Amino acid sequence: MRDILSSSWPWYVSGPLIGLFVPALLLFGNRQFGISSNLRHLCAAVAPGRVEFFRYDWRQAGKWNLTFLAGIVVGGIIAARLIGIGDVAIGADTKAALAELGVRSFGGLAPSDLFSWSSLQTIPGVVAIVGGGFLVGFGSAYAGGCTSGHAIAGLAAFERASLLASVAFFAGGIACTYTILPLLF
């Protein structure tokens, strides 16, 4: 069982499981799948009234979302303790392309050349971590949801806005990969 849980699953197994999760949430709990709204509720609970975006009754919509968020965090901690944290599988072509840019660390969950405390002491590190984090947060707020909400739940509901947001997310990722990342290194 440990081998099954700790190894990569093929797309034809994990894709349908994720796809079935969305209608199950709707059918059994009238809930939508997504992460960014959970973080918005958390911010509204922690810092109420300071920012207009967070001034709303988070308790009405936020109980389910905050429980979902807590489940993700606790589930991740339990899985890391039981299974361990391995390396993320990176394809040979991707490793070669990143090596050309100067990335040498491919162990763990993310390259430490890009994402580490010591990276924050460099201009490229600040741009990648702080700038990237800001763009992800701003983009999620502007698009009315994150990639999981739009690309999984929104597309399953045939939402045109989710199709547009998903295309924009992927286009932005491709543009950053081929323009901004080479400039940082």
- Read off the pLDDT of residues 37-59 as tens digits, 9 standing for 90 and up: 777 788 888 876 777 877 788 78
Alpha carbons 158 and 23: distance in angstroms, whole number? 13
**pLDDT for 74 beyond 90:** yes
**pLDDT for 133 beyond 80:** yes
Per DSSP, 52 falls in state G
- Whole-number mean pLDDT of the chain? 82
H helix count then E strand count, the chain: 11, 0
**pLDDT for 80 beyond 70:** yes
- Longest CA–CA span in the chain (Å) reads 50
**pLDDT for 32 beyond 80:** no
The per-residue pLDDT for 89 is 73
Q: Is the pTM of this model over 0.85?
A: no
- Read off the pLDDT of residues 134-156 as tens digits, 9 standing for 90 and up: 888 888 888 888 887 888 888 87
Alpha carbons 124 and 57: distance in angstroms, whole number? 39
Alpha carbons 32 and 23: distance in angstroms, whole number? 9
The per-residue pLDDT for 48 is 67
Alpha carbons 108 and 47: distance in angstroms, whole number? 33
Alpha carbons 47 and 38: distance in angstroms, whole number? 14
The per-residue pLDDT for 24 is 86
The per-residue pLDDT for 171 is 92
**pLDDT for 163 beyond 90:** yes
Alpha carbons 60 and 81: distance in angstroms, whole number? 34
Helix, strand, coil % (nearest 5) of the chain? 70, 0, 30
